[in-house]
Chains A and B, each alone.
Chain A
Amino acid sequence: EQHTDTPRTVENVRLVDRVSPKKAALGTLYLTATHVIFVENTPDTRKETWILHSQISTIEKQATTVTGCPLLIRCKNFQIIQLIIPQERDCHDVYISLIRLARPVKYEELYCFSFNPMLDKEEREQGWMLIDLSEEYKRMGLPNNYWQLSDVNRDYRVCDSYPTELYVPKSATAHIIVGSSKFRSRRRFPALSYYYKENHASICRSSQPLSGFSARCLEDEQMLQVIRKANPGSDFIYVVDTRPKLNAMANRAAGKGYENEDNYSNIKFQFIGIENIHVMRNSLQKMLEVCELKSPSMSDFLWGLENSGWLRHIKAIMDAGIFIAKAVAEEGASVLVHCSDGWDRTAQVCSVASLLLDPHYRTLRGFMVLIEKDWISFGHKFNHRYGNLDGDPKEISPVIDQFIECVWQLMEQFPCAFEFNERFLIHIQHHIYSCQFGNFLCNSQKERRELKIQERTYSLWAHLWKNRADYLNPLFRADHSQTQGSLHLPTTPCNFTYKFWSGMYNRFEKGMQPRQSVTDYLMAVKEETQQLEEELEALVERLEKIQKVQLNDTKVKSKQSEPSRHSGFSTSDNSTANTPQDYSGNMKSFPSRSPSQGDEDSALILTQDNLKSSDPDLSANSDQESGVEDLSCRSPSGGEHAPSEDSGKDRDSDEAVFLTA
């Protein structure tokens, strides 16, 4: 079909303001090979909204009205775009094209294969080497007397969804491993996820055993024994099944199931009920419906949020992570974690536990390593879960989204424990769906190698690392006792600590977010302090030199910058001022605007984007330009703004001048 070759253009399209639907920006819609782009007609701004095809979750054609044919696009990064296209026929064409474009069938169609950030080959290769798992296992203290690197899965001979490099107990012979793998779903045998060098306890992961009602496997039983013996400090191991007991029991009828405590010596078996991917998908769907409600009451919102069950599921994942972290750190016991296939709930729980145990994973680089280890290398099915290629919609589920939210919930509880900030999490979530970088492609390491991802695409980690200044948490205190070692959660379970994450799920409705960013402000203060200190140092140095040489001319010219603290921030912060939303509700007696004021008034909030413009927020990152060819008009920052933000801007800046004058 022709749409992949020539950009399609539709004139006189209206982009509806989600908050005040009567307002709409008139402009032109372009469909390119990789993006949907809307460019406003307003000559001075020509504001742009860019949507990556891979971000499109659903497209809905709504009933035609007198003004045209509405098209609703929901994105996987929670942006919602409503367009009104004048001609029914055009709308249908756009609809059909987008359905096709949003569901590519070949990997080669994905954005990462055309995305070119203008780096040379060497830089690209270096980018892929930034995160190195063998380094990470070394950091854990491996190999050692108990654990070794196994080549049993060389060429993916034992398990095609596992990586080739795996750590197993030294006494786990190839015979034991292969035997155990035959007794596990998809041959995902127990392998090391995390080693806690303080006390030799470990977290291992696998899939469910094929135990059915009575089956046994000597090698599998031996495998668990050698894991236990690899930890001399404890005479038992925990086996944590992260499924609800009922689900696990149902699996027995299909010849799968869970470990029988009678057959495995010295294990303590434990169920931790995390629901399956289908429940989670529905839960997210319900929560997003709540987020989409137009001016909901407090009751609508709280009821809706509770009925979605979302926070309950988040808590279940956290509880599992906490259980494992405590078993490892406090009881000194090793833990084997599995669910059914061991690539969803197991990945969530192992990574939450690691994050609680090890401060390294709470740093910027460490967090990338954690995702690389527990998710990418262990065969989390990114392609299926996040629908990168057209596939079974029942495979789609927000598994890693939930993990990312768990991290955010922890950040809220421990503001000083993480080196990175909320924006880092949001951008990672975005790129899991964007397919702009190769990291999250495919379902396994094997597939990625076959596709030669590293030779043909770029690594997100290098991109994030390059821009790390944007992702730092100014409150991070690596030195503080509270943030060192494992994080100590309150002993009594507390539900109040789980909050709705509007920064993620309503993130394109900037008006709902705090209007001023503490993070950005503190980073700016820190930067300025540092600059001043450097300057001072330089001056002191210079002064010493001058005194040494005993020059007569001791004139030291200070550089232009004035050491007045915090000056220059006030203006930028004031630009975050906003306009009021329509507080009058639908009260008829209150005119929503006076004639003299034009129609700016009832616009919701409309803050200026107080985030830095480098924010690849995310649809119009400057990097992405090069991926699109035929557009004469583009401003990299344009697409960052949700459509609802357009109108109030100029007015605000006028106002600022007026009021400060």
Chain B
Amino acid sequence: MEFSELIRTGRAQAQLLRGPEAPPLRGTLCVTGHHLLLSPGPQSTPDLWLLLLRSVDSIEKRVAGDSGTIILRCKDLRVLQLEIEGVEATLDIARSIEALSSLESVITSFPFFYRPKGLRLGDAWHFLPPERYYKRVARETDAWRLSEVNEDFSLCPSYPRAVIVPRAVDDDALARSARFRQGGRFPVLSYHHAPSGTVLLRSSQPLTGPQKRRCAEDEELLRAVLAGARPGARGFILDTRSAQAAKQARMTGGGTEAKAAYPHWKRLHRPLERGRPLQESFVRLVEACGDPEQSMDRWLSRLEGCRWLAHVKEALSTACLVAQAMEREGACILVHGAEGTDSTLLVTSLAQLILDPMSRTMAGFQELIEREWIQAGHPFQLRCAHSAFSHARPKHEAPTFLLFLDCVWQLGRQFPLSLEFGEGLLLALFEHAYASPFGTFLCNSEKERCLCEVRTRTHSLWSGLNQPKEQRKLRNPLYVLNPLAIWPSVEPQSLRLWQGLFLRWTHPPEPAEVAWEKVWQIVTGREETEGSQPTASA
């Protein structure tokens, strides 16, 4: 397919309005295969304005007289307005953007063409989290092994090639357990908490079905987990669905672990919102935040009606419960919901941030996302196909990853010195998960990424972010290693709307930026000169 077939018009004269704070830009507008370009001419700054078409979430067009208006609502929640000369040109450009922004093919997407200066293909792809993480686990305990039973993705299409499993369980047993779990997602190690000798596992629901089927190998696997942990260890299975929903899942072949079959494991239900209701919550919140007519009288109830902060509270408290059970009760934990690719990952990754100081470093956090989200098979392509502005009926979209980032932001607010990265990194991750020139968040699983040769043909976001010039934006200058668990408060008084994300484009960010600049100055010991541009110190 040629992009040129989709481009209806070459260029037009247009004016771009970028919200109340930025001055409008006038110039020549032009659509290319992946970008919308506006070139205001050589004298102006910036001399070129560029928008990745993939980041357009919805498009609205109006024509009046001999000109037209296009409103682009972007996946990063920005709203842009283009005033275009010529009715035909307006309609053509709108159609071109519509067609190009919704292309589904992965291998024709921009990351496959993006060749930034200073980066080499394949640079940061070398770190393979399960293998790398296994090295750390192996130093702490010998109860676990790295299995390559999923080498060809045949056992579990959404798992990576290598997974960490109890040493006492062989690959055949894993294969049987996989057949007993939805999508083949048998229980694997997510995190080993060395101080307490306990582990965090994740999987999908067992396929007990209406007949209450059992699987000896699956039971054996969980028995082996406890045997490999500290003596007398108990386990909790944390189901991210309500007890009723878990029971109902039996009708469709799923279900939950029977008490009798897993004697030392106790089941807990902590229902977390997922799927469409979560997406709707996101949409409502963004709508509320963008409503200028909102009166103070109703703002708080509207915020309440969005339910977003309630989801943040639920996610954080569930993760805290998991972390608490491990660290304080010395219990092993298995987390799953139905598919084990969404709220399961939310809980396991947050629990690690609470417990593991390593995961709170810049490198550790990137590794956590790579291991617990990307390689663990969170279907980014499906979940992030649209953001909050799309008029299309949501199919598989859900902002689970955004919810995770919001929870991390809340942790950072309560422990401002304990995360090595700042809000800037979280904002960047949000942006790139929804639309990115890098390949990191492409596809839904390792298997798909292998088929598309993402690793060899696109650049990794991590090498993009880890360039020295980005550090001042992404790092937290206040960071001091905190070797302890960080237990957040989940009381409503302690949780706040993430202004930096939800109000990023409607609220002037300058005061916060001035403060950030000052923090850097104090920490790097270069104070008292306004407007000076201290260089990044990575």
What residues of chain A have their CB less than 8 Å away from a CB belonging to chain B? 291, 295-303, 305-306, 311-312, 315, 413-417, 474-475, 477, 479-483, 490-492, 494-500, 502, 506, 509, 511-518, 521-522, 525-526, 529, 565-566, 569-570, 573-574, 577-581, 583-585, 587, 589-591, 593-594, 597, 601, 604-605, 655-656, 658-660
B168 within 8 A of partner (CB):
no
Residue B523 lies at the interface, judged by CB distance under 8 Å to chain A: yes
Tell me, in angstroms, the Cα distance from A78 to B485 when the chains sit together. Answer: 29
Bound-state Cα–Cα, A566 to B412, Å: 20
A461 to B454, CA, bound (A): 65
Which chain B residue has the least Cβ–Cβ distance from A519?
B416
Report whether B495 and A298 are in contact in the complex, using a CB–CB cutoff of 8 Å.
Answer: yes
A selection of 11 A-B contacts at a CB cut-off of 8 Å is A291-B493, A298-B309, A312-B297, A413-B511, A475-B522, A477-B514, A481-B530, A482-B514, A496-B497, A591-B329, A655-B484
How far in angstroms is the closest Cβ of chain A from B213?
A: 24
CA–CA, A605 and B481, complex, Å: 20
B523 partner residues in chain A, CB cutoff 8 A: 522, 525
| Interface membership of B244, Cβ < 8 A | no
Mask of B286-301 contacts with A, CB within 8 angstroms, 1/0: 0001001011111111
- What chain A residues lie within 8 Å of B301 (beta carbons)? 302-303, 306
The one of B325, B493, B515 in contact with A500, judged by C-beta atoms closer than 8 angstroms, is B493
Nearest CB on A from B343, distance (A): 16
Cβ–Cβ < 8 Å partners of A516 in chain B: 415-418
Q: Which residues of A contact B195 (CB under 8 A)?
A: 658-659
Given contacts A583-B324, A655-B484, contact A498 B296 (CB under 8 A): yes
**CB pair A589 B266 closer than 8 Å:** yes
A382 CA / B303 CA spacing, docked (Å): 36
B328 and A601 within 8 A (CB): yes
Q: Which of A496, A497, A499 has the largest number of chain B CB atoms within 10 A?
A: A496
Minimum Cβ distance to chain A for residue B237 (Å): 11
Task: Evaluate whether A580 and B519 lie within 8 angstroms (CB atoms) in the complex, with A301-B493, A574-B483 already known.
Answer: no
Partner of B417, one of A298, A480, A565, A573: A573
Which among A301, A311, A413, A515 is the interface contact of B492 at CB below 8 angstroms?
A301
Contact of A480 among B325, B481, B530 (CB under 8 A): B530
Q: Scan residues 442-493 of chain B and give those whose CB is less than 8 A from a CB of chain A.
A: 478, 480-487, 489-493
A594–B481 CA distance with the chains assembled, in angstroms: 30
Using Cβ atoms and an 8 Å threshold, which residues of chain A touch B274? none
Docked Cα-Cα span, A591 to B325, in Å, equals: 9
Query: Which segment of B115-123, B250-258, B389-397, B502-510 sits at the interface?
Result: B502-510
Selected from B413, B484, B507, B511, the residue in CB contact (under 8 A) with A514 is: B413
A-B contact count (CB 8 A): 202
Q: Which residues of chain B come closer than 8 Å to A658, judged between CB atoms?
A: 195
* A474 contact set on B, CB distance < 8 A: 518, 522
Closest to A413 in B: B511
Determine whether the beta carbon of A492 is less than 8 Å from that of B299.
no
Residues of A within 8 A of B23 (CB): none
Q: CB-nearest residue of chain A relative to B354?
A: A580
Which of B329, B418, B492, B503 lies in contact with A297, CB distance below 8 A? B492
Which single residue of chain B is at the shortest CB-CB distance from A605?
Answer: B489
> When A and B form their complex, which 4 residue pairs have the shortest distance between CB atoms, in order from nearest?
A301-B492, A306-B300, A577-B484, A302-B304
Instruction: Say whether A587 contacts B268, CB under 8 Å.
Output: yes
Bound CA–CA A605/B522 (angstroms) = 30
Instruction: Name the CB-closest residue of B to A490.
Output: B508
Q: B303 contacts which chain A residues (CB < 8 A)? A: 302
Q: Is the CB of B296 within 8 A of A479?
A: no
Pick from B321, B478, B487: contact of A584, CB below 8 A. B321
Pick the contact of A496 from B299, B309, B489, B527 — CB < 8 Å? B299
**Given that A302-B301, A303-B301 are known contacts, is A518 also in contact with B478, CB under 8 Å in the complex?**
yes
Chain B residues near A515 (CB, 8 Å)?
A: 414-415, 486
Q: Which residue numbers of B lie inside 8 Å of A, CB to CB? A: 20, 195, 236, 266-268, 289, 292, 294-301, 303-304, 307, 309-310, 313, 317-318, 320-321, 323-325, 327-330, 413-418, 478, 480-487, 489-497, 499, 503, 506-508, 510-512, 514-515, 518-519, 522-523, 525, 527-528, 530
Q: Which residues of B contact A593 (CB under 8 A)?
A: 328-329
Distance in angstroms from A388 CB to nearest chain B CB is: 29
A498 to B519, CA, bound (A): 24
B493 → chain A closest CB, angstroms: 4
CB distance from B327 to the nearest CB of A (A): 8
Residue of A nearest to B316 (CB): A583
| Minimum C-beta distance from A419 to chain B (A) | 13
Tell me the minimal C-beta distance from B164 to chain A in angstroms: 24
Known contacts A492-B20, A511-B489: A477-B300 contact under CB 8 Å: no
CA distance A601 to B494 in the complex (A): 20
Dominant SS among interface residues on chain A: loop
Min CB–CB distance A473 → chain B (angstroms):
10
Q: Which residues of A contact B482 (CB under 8 A)?
A: 570, 573-574, 577
Least CB separation from B324: chain A residue: A580
Give CA–CA (A525, B307) in the complex, Å: 40
CB within 8 A of B494: which of A497, A512, A518, A580? A512
**CB <8 Å contact, A480 and B292:** no
Given A298-B310, A300-B492, A415 contacting B512 (CB threshold 8 A)? yes
Asked whether A416 lies within 8 Å of B511 as measured between CB atoms, the reply is yes
By the criterion CB–CB under 8 Å, are A299 and B484 in contact? no
Contact across chains for A605 and B493 when beta carbons are under 8 A apart: no
Note all chain B residues with C-beta closer than 8 A to A480. 514, 530
A300's nearest neighbour on chain B, judged by CB, is B492
A302-B480 contact, Cβ under 8 Å, with A311-B300, A580-B328: no
**What A residues does B512 contact at CB under 8 A?**
415
- Selected from A305, A521, A529, the residue in CB contact (under 8 A) with B525 is A529
Q: Which of A413, A417, A656 contacts B484, CB < 8 Å? A: A656
Partner of B300, one of A303, A509, A513, A590: A303
Would B484 and A574 count as touching, CB distance under 8 A? yes
Report chain A residues within 8 Å CB of B415: 514-516
Q: A583 and B490: CB pair below 8 A?
A: yes
Which of B303, B327, B480, B506 has the most CB atoms of chain A within a 10 A radius of its CB? B480
Which of A414, A517, A526, A656 meets B511, CB within 8 Å?
Answer: A414
Interfacial chain A residues near B494, Cβ < 8 Å: 502, 512-513
Determine whether the beta carbon of B492 is less than 8 Å from that of A302.
yes
Q: A496-B289, A512-B493 are in contact. List 15 more A-B contacts (CB 8 A).
A: A291-B493, A306-B299, A416-B515, A475-B518, A479-B528, A479-B530, A483-B514, A513-B494, A516-B415, A516-B417, A521-B417, A574-B483, A577-B486, A580-B323, A590-B325
Given A512-B494, A578-B487, A589-B267: A416 and B299 within 8 A (CB)?
A: no
Contact between chains at A581 and B490 (CB < 8 Å)? yes
**A298 nearest in chain B by CB position:** B310
Q: Which residues in A have their C-beta under 8 angstroms from that of B294?
A: 495
Given contacts A570-B481, A605-B487, contact A495 B295 (CB under 8 A): yes
Q: List, in ascending order, chain A residues with CB within 8 A of B321's CB.
A: 583-584, 590
Task: Give min CB distance, B478 to chain A, whole Å.
Answer: 6
For the complex, what is the distance from the CA of A154 to the CA of B82, rounded to whole Å?
66
| Neighbouring B residues of A601 by C-beta, 8 Å | 324, 328
Is there contact, CB below 8 Å, between A415 and B511? Answer: yes
Give Cα A509–Cα B519 distance, bound, in whole angstroms: 28
CB of A495 within 8 A of CB of B328, answer no
Contacts of A490 in B (CB 8 A): 507-508
- Complex Cα distance A644/B511, Å? 36
How far is it, in angstroms, between the C-alpha of A569 and the C-alpha of B478 when the chains are bound? 11
Shortest distance between the CB of A102 and any CB in chain B (Å): 27
| Minimum CB–CB distance for B232 against chain A, Å | 11
User: Cβ of B310: which chain A residues have Cβ within 8 Å of it?
Assistant: 297-299
Given the complex of chains A and B, what is the CA–CA distance between A495 and B301 in angstroms?
12
How far, in whole Å, are A518 and B479 apart by their CA atoms in the complex?
10
Least CB distance, A585 to chain B, in whole angstroms: 8
The residue that B522 contacts in the complex, of A300, A525, A573, A590, with Cβ under 8 A, is A525
A497, B294: Cα distance in complex, Å: 13
